[in-house]
Structure formats: C-alpha cells, structure tokens
Structure 1
C-alpha cells in the first residue's frame, strides 16, 4: 500500500509532507498531473490521499482537466474514511467534494502572515497544542464556504477559512504548511509576478520558517502517524466501501449456511451474541433467533458502508450495530456468550491479539465460531492457488493460536461446502 500524492505543477511538490510520510515508513507514490500521470480510478492499495496546490481553480473545469477525477477520488476517500490532506488547491477540492463551495477571494494572499486557531483546533488530532496564532506561508486567491458538519480549525482576517476538518480523517489547509526553503524558492521562481506583490518574501522566509518548523513537523508527523496506525482499517474500508451496496444481493444465497453455523454454537435465550466483521449482517437474524427477544445481539464492523448496508436491509432492528476494531472492542470483559466471525481471522492484521481480545470479552461459558461459507480447499481452488501451509485457519496453525489466547478448539469442520471451527475458553 502507499500514500498517493496528487501534484499539479512541478513547483508545488509535497516537500515536508513527503519527509513526514517516509519518516513513518510509508511509501509515497506521486501522481504528477502536469506530466500526464492519470488520476487513480480507485483507492485500492491506497493508505492515504494528499492533494497539493496549483494555479488552477477548484471552481470549474476550465484549465483543469483532472478536476472531476480528483473530486471523485476525494469523495471515495471520504466515504471510506481514508485519511486525506488537502493543501491550498487540495483544500478547496476537498471542500467541494464534501459539499462546500469555492469562490474567488477578496484579493490574493501571498507571503508570510498570521492565522488564528479556531476553538475546534484544541481537540483536533492534528492541531491540538499549536499556539493560538501562527505565521504561515500563504499563496492563494480563492476562498470557500465549508460543507455542513466541517470543523473550522484556523482563520485569518482576509480569509476566514484557513484550515478545516471533514469527518474524522480529512483535513484541508489553505496555507502551505509543507513549506521549506526549497518550496519558497520554487514558488518565487515559478510565479515571479505574484511574488513581486509580496515584497520581502525571501527576506522574511528564514526567520518565519524557523519559527514554523516545529509546529509544521508536529502536524505533519501526526498525520503520518495516523495514516500508519489506520493502515489495516484503511485496507478493509477501501475494499468493502465500494462493494457494500451490492454485497447483500451478491451473497444472499449464503444466508442458510450462516444460520446452520449459528445453530451449532449452542446459544441460549437471554444470552448476548456478537457478530464480528458483521458486514451486511447475514448472521444477525440467526443470532437473534438463538438468543430470543430477551437476549442481546451486537454487530461490529470497521467499515461504515457495510453497517449502512446492514441498516438498509432492516437488520439494525435485530442488533446494535457498532463501528469498531475487532482488536479493541468497546465491551466490558466477559460481556458476551457467543462470538461469530465469518471470513474474519485470516484478514485481521494481528490474529494473536485479536483472539486474546475476543477471549477477554467472552464469558467463561462462551463459545467462539470461526466460519466461512466455503471450505479452505474450495476457496483456494476458486482463487487458482494451492492450499497454503501458512493459512491461519489450517488446524496446525489455528489450534495453537487459539491455545495461546486462552481458547480450546472443540470442533474443526473443514468441509467442501463450509468451514467451521468452534472453541471455548480453556479451563486449564
């Protein structure tokens, strides 16, 4: 996976953004629009999206042939909670993609000038701990009205929108926080007429840049850390989000197999059942039937779009749907009596940690069901590959993994038509 950086012109490179990303061991892939690189058609394999500035305008397509493709990519990133950083033009495109409006500003703002932090900055993942006023490099002439729900983070007298956040992981910066001395030299060389309107720009840079660097590195380092920490979530979300609407119809024929697997868990009325990685909720009707009206059913998934699809099928009425990471569940210890996980264990990034967490939230008489609606051999053949000895669901791998986490394998059924492993908590 990689961080895709959309660069519109040669002089507006990622600069300090790239330094922060590579410092977090992230791979940076630059899409050089001015050289004819195509905008990616999907977010497959993308850990984050960074959109840089440029002389074109987000207000229309004139002189900006990739605008619609970039807006589509930004909308996809917002839908899948892929981390986004938009700078200058990139911030304006982010605002438009989220439903805001970009318009011509009162006058160009070029050079070093102050911004003031908004109240929302104090609790923001990137902007917390910054000083109330900060001198930054401006080079823009358009402004914007933010979409509903966006959180303002910084403003200035001439341009009230200087930084904002959309949802939980997309930030727009009207100013050039990525700036270093090379950036300033490149901007002045590329746009000499605009630079002439900002007397003292070069003279102001050494002192202003020295004061900015600690805060620049703090914000960009936090963004890079967020991207790295969410990498596993991002991979799942970029895969499942565009497929969520069609998922239920495509796999509805598997619902009876889900019900048969739930029946083998031995759940009783009044108990609490948890469907981990519930997707569109194909197991939820069977889990609800097993625990009855007085029991509780929880559906957990890491992808908003899949939970939304589950709700649209009416399954929100069968269970409480939670957006959560299966490695860190928002549940008290011993809260559930049965955990159902379909096609899950071989997709978690740390199986041992996940199994320990599932043991933590399970009552002593609880059961874990690891299920797939097709057997391991059939799945491998369908994908044109042999069975792998490293498969975490192979019994020689699964049984010791369960044991390490406190589980005891009590049933292992790897048939052609399904896979089901049942485990309980070891009394040893």
Structure 2
C-alpha cells in the first residue's frame, strides 16, 4: 500500500498518483486537511508520499507530530518516501534537519540546477542540468549532514535532496499539470498575483516540463514496485526489532541444539540467513571455532542494529542483504542455517536454489523453528495450511529440485527441523 498524506484539497499527488496507479500500486489517501488521522505504523506500507500545504513545517499544526513520527518510522524501515514542498521540509526535519523561513516568497516558473549527485540518482539520472519548474513556497530547510543535495537555485539552495537510499524531498512542485496550476491559483490568489502570467504561460511551461516530470514520477513508482517485497519485510520487522531479543531470548538453548545437528567442522564457513538479533550466532561460532567464518545475514537494518547491541557482531560478521539474492560467490560456504525464513520469502523454490548455489557440495542446510507447524497454527488460531512449503510433501521435492537431499525431517510438537545435504553438480 502507498500512503499519501495531503494537507490541502488542491495539493493532491497529480502526476505522482498517475505514475503509481500505472505501476499497479494501490494507494490510500490521508486527507489531513479534512481531519483524517495520520497512520501510526508503517507495517503495511511499501511507499509514503507527503504532499505540500500552506502551513509551515516549523509550526505546530495539528498533524505535524504524527507525520514526523510516520516519516521517521518510514526512514528507519527504508520505506521509499517522496516529500513535496511542505512534505520535503517535514522529511528533512524527520531526518534530523531543520525547517525555517526563507528569503521571501518564491512563486512562479523558474530554473533549478542539478548537482553533481543528480546524474547517479535513481530518480534524477536523466533530468537535464537545468530544469524549469513551478515554485510556490516561502520556507526552506537545512539538511542533515548525510543528505545528498540534488538540485538548487540561488535564492533557495535546497530544491531537491535524497536521504539515505530511498527517501526524496522536492521543494518545487514537479507533480503539477494544468489542473493543479489552476487549483493553486484559485486557492491562493494573492500569491498567484505576484507571478504575472502564471496561468497564461502554464500550457507552454508544462509542455516543456512534462517529459522530465513524468520520467521522475515513473522512476519513483518503479523504485517502489521493484522493492515492494523487501520493503514489506523491513516494515514488518523494523518495529519489532527493539523487543525481538527479549521476546525470544528463552529460545536460545533450542537454537543451540538445532545448530549442533548441522555437524559443522572447525574452520568451515556458515551463514545464518534471516539472523534477526543473532540468537544462533554464538552456537554457530562454537561449531566452526575461531578459524571458521560465521556471517549473519538480515534484510532489516534495525535487526542488525539490535544484534550489535547484544554483542553478536563479536561472534559473526553481520551483512545487510536479501537472503534470496546473496552477494556471495558460488560454493562459498559449507553450511546454511535459517529459522523460519522460508515462510517469509516470496518464492521458496528460488530461495532454495540460491542457498544451494552458495553452498559447496556436501554442505548442509538446516531449516529450523522453535515451534512445530501444528503448534504455530494453533497459536494463530488457524488450521494447518495444506500449501505450507514446510510440509514434507512440498519441502522434499522442492529441495530435490534445488539440488538438496533431505536426510532428516522432524515436525515435532515443540520444534521443526529439516536437514538437507547439498548434492554434487
């Protein structure tokens, strides 16, 4: 779901919404101007768009606190964000910057200059060095140190920027079409009067802008769509990372007992895929010894941060990566451990093939969960799923097709364990 936050009825997503719809991405609109409640959590979001409005990001308007909290949660979970005008200023504040009054109002059509970072940016890579856009603001912002400036002009140096790898702010209104320009002028006639010829020149200005406007909006939509699976996983686990260790600390001995069944040797290399806070990492280190290599892989930065708080980075190398697309050479490891991960990957068969690719012949795969399948189903108040990929009738042929031989399968009341051996090519 893409969450759109609006602050004024005339300041909708326009071309942004068109691109998101064309990409098949469902949208949900929070009309803060009408009193809609800003969502408190990002668990179901794959993207967030925060639009402009007449209020100031440094003033305490009714939805400001909730919006900043939503933006901070989106940044932590690396949910793609696009902030426009007021939305860009709020994004800067959420990331640790400040919003402030500008040097007079900037309203009407004028150029912005792309920075050296723009040609390698996922959204701005094809935008020309100068782009003529619609401005409608009198506030600006100071960016946090880690932000990448993408566009500027003399009177307002911060015109476009990126925070991290997936959040963008646009001070100008790239999203507009003729209907938007007319709506802005009707809503703010005194401001429109300071830009003579604003409406009359709109068709020609928009004709020149349209190709670049649509390209940036389509790139954002494609970015959101391409990362949707990863974003959903990160959104779900980020909020839970802070309490994950305390919730499952009692499972430590079960993880250790499961790792013991892998039969790894000193000096070997092993992965813990979807390691979370790293409950299995001490046991894996004990098996391969000081000369071995242990790598904990997780897709959620907050989980790896929690693992570091627990000191697990002293027992293993921690790697931020997609477990279904590992940045490792073929045959790099002797063992793969994962606890419950296969139920969270989009394509279990493809994941099993990827894990086989990085595992040397005769290497071991251990799929583990500290609860049996029936126990988990009962806990969630549902019957056993006949399509569960962990059911033996599904798992055995899937493993065989991926290059594994299942040599042990235990679906016990209080644990699940499947052990497989990597075959020879």
Q: Which residue is 1:225 aligned to?
A: 222
SS at match of 1:171: strand
CA positional deviation for 1:426: 3.0
Q: 2:140 aligns with which of 128, 140, 143?
A: 143
CA positional deviation for 1:427: 4.1
Q: Which residue is 1:380 aligned to?
A: 377
Which moves more between the two structures, 152-161 or 352-361?
A: 352-361
Q: 1:293 aligns with which of 290, 294, 299?
A: 290
> For residues 31 and 190 of structure 1, what CA distance do their matches in structure 2 show?
20
Counterpart mapping for 1:242-391 below 5 A: 242-391=239-388
SS at match of 2:117: helix
TM-superposition CA deviations, 1:87-118 (whole Å, max 9, x none): 00000000001111111111111111100001
> For residues 424 and 327 of structure 2, what CA distance do their matches in structure 1 show?
25
TM-superposition CA deviations, 1:381-407 (whole Å, max 9, x none): 010000010111011111121122111
1:26 aligns with 2:25: yes
Q: Which residue is 2:110 aligned to?
A: 113
> For residues 68 and 257 of structure 1, what CA distance do their matches in structure 2 show?
42
Q: Contact (CA 8 Å) 2:42, 2:235: kept in 1 or not?
A: yes
> For residues 404 and 23 of structure 1, what CA distance do their matches in structure 2 show?
36
> For residues 150 and 217 of structure 1, what CA distance do their matches in structure 2 show?
24
Q: 1:419 aligns with which of 401, 413, 416?
A: 416
Per the normalisation by structure 1, the TM-score is: 0.98
Q: Which residue is 2:12 aligned to?
A: 13
TM-superposition CA deviations, 1:66-105 (whole Å, max 9, x none): 0010000001111110110000000000000111111111
> For residues 304 and 285 of structure 2, what CA distance do their matches in structure 1 show?
17
Which moves more between the two structures, 272-281 or 398-407?
A: 398-407
TM-superposition CA deviations, 1:33-89 (whole Å, max 9, x none): 11111000111211111000000000110xx10001000000111111011000000
RMSD over equivalenced CA pairs, Å: 0.9
SS at match of 2:291: coil
TM-superposition CA deviations, 1:278-325 (whole Å, max 9, x none): 000000000000000000000000000000000110110111100000
CA positional deviation for 1:339: 0.2
Q: 2:169 aligns with which of 172, 175, 184?
A: 172
> For residues 344 and 366 of structure 1, what CA distance do their matches in structure 2 show?
19
Q: Which residue is 1:239 aligned to?
A: 236
Q: Contact (CA 8 Å) 2:275, 2:296: kept in 1 or not?
A: yes
Q: How many aligned residue pairs are there? A: 425
TM-superposition CA deviations, 1:201-257 (whole Å, max 9, x none): 112211111111111111111111111111111111111111111111111000110
1:183 aligns with 2:180: yes
Q: Contact (CA 8 Å) 2:274, 2:298: kept in 1 or not?
A: yes
SS at match of 2:256: helix
SS at match of 1:119: coil
Q: Which residue is 2:155 aligned to?
A: 158
> For residues 125 and 268 of structure 1, what CA distance do their matches in structure 2 show?
44
TM-superposition CA deviations, 1:156-193 (whole Å, max 9, x none): 11100000000110000000111111111110111111
Gaps of 5+ in 2: none
Per the normalisation by structure 2, the TM-score is: 0.99
Q: 2:76 aligns with which of 72, 75, 79?
A: 79
TM-superposition CA deviations, 1:101-154 (whole Å, max 9, x none): 111111111111100001111111111121000001111110111011000000
Q: Which residue is 1:211 aligned to?
A: 208
> For residues 372 and 176 of structure 1, what CA distance do their matches in structure 2 show?
50
1:410 aligns with 2:422: no
